[in-house]
Amino acid sequence: MTDGNNAREMHSDEPGGSGSGRRARVLGGGLAVVLLAAGGAAGGWLLAGEDAPPSSPNADAGATVPVTPSETPSPTVRTTAPPAPRTSAPTPSGGLTVPPVVGTDFTDARDELRDHRLGWRLVFGTGSGRDVRSANPPVGSPVRRGTTVTLYVAGPAPEVSVPDLLDDDCSDAADDLVEEGLYPRYRTGRAGVVTAQDPVPDSTAYWNDSVTLTCGKEPAEPSGEPTPTP
């Protein structure tokens, strides 16, 4: 007489038929599935020719992709072209140069500079003669109009006679002094006429000496009529 349990299922209350046997079969089947899946993946790496499994997406996050040498950008080379060479030096004078004054009498050299609208300064020496030994700037140097050229004279400053400048206009008196090789000094300004001078007229002086002028209004001439009394 049978109890209808033809499959002979074992229950937990049967000897050797604990419930863990069914669970073991189920776990065993799951493990087999996992192993097969792993084997399939390994076969995929081998077919692809890779030596190691690819890293997981999380492992690659934020990673730096190496750049092959062919992909390395070439550095930008900046070159600066040298400035173009100057073909000629600038001539600030517009062609004006120190005239050939060396070897000439210093008065002639002064007149030559004045004709070129250049200033002059005389430096006298201790030798003999009136000729110019050198100039600064040198002869032939480019200069601007108004530049002062220093003339070095061989001998000492010659004597001159102080002109009579009394009652002359102060501006005209200054020109006369410069022409004679002397220089004016003003005691009371440059307006009016010369009322006094020092040294006095016809005195002996030397080139480059100064003459002090006193300028002002002309004194009123007496009319000859008596001044009325109040």
Q: Which residue has the higher pLDDT, 73 or 154?
A: 154
Asked whether residue 167 falls in the same domain as residue 144, the answer is no
Q: Which residue has the higher pLDDT, 53 or 95?
A: 95
133-162 pLDDT tens trace: 999 999 999 999 999 999 999 999 999 999
Quote the pTM value: 0.54
- Using the predicted structure, report yes or no on whether residue 33 has a pLDDT greater than 80: no
The answer to whether 137 and 96 have CB atoms below 8 angstroms apart is no
184-199 pLDDT tens trace: 999 988 999 999 999 9
Backbone angles phi, psi at 135, to 5 degrees: -140, 155
115-132 pLDDT tens trace: 999 999 999 999 999 999
The answer to whether 197 and 166 have CB atoms below 8 angstroms apart is yes
Q: What is the CATH number of the domain that holds 124?
A: 3.30.10.20
DSSP bridge pairs for 193? 169, 216
Is 188 inside a domain boundary?
yes
Q: Which of 120, 153, 186 is at the close of a domain?
A: 153
Q: H helices within 74-165, ranges in order? A: 106-115
Asked whether residue 163 falls in the same domain as residue 212, the answer is yes
Q: What is the pLDDT of residue 217?
A: 81
For the chain, the domain total comes to 2
Q: How many CB atoms lie within 10 A of CB 187?
A: 13
Q: What is the pLDDT of residue 17?
A: 47
Q: What domain range includes position 149? A: 106-153
Q: Is 83 exposed, middle or buried (0-12, 13-18, 19+ CB in 10 A)?
A: exposed
User: Given the structure tokens 């030994």, which residue do they identify?
Assistant: 133
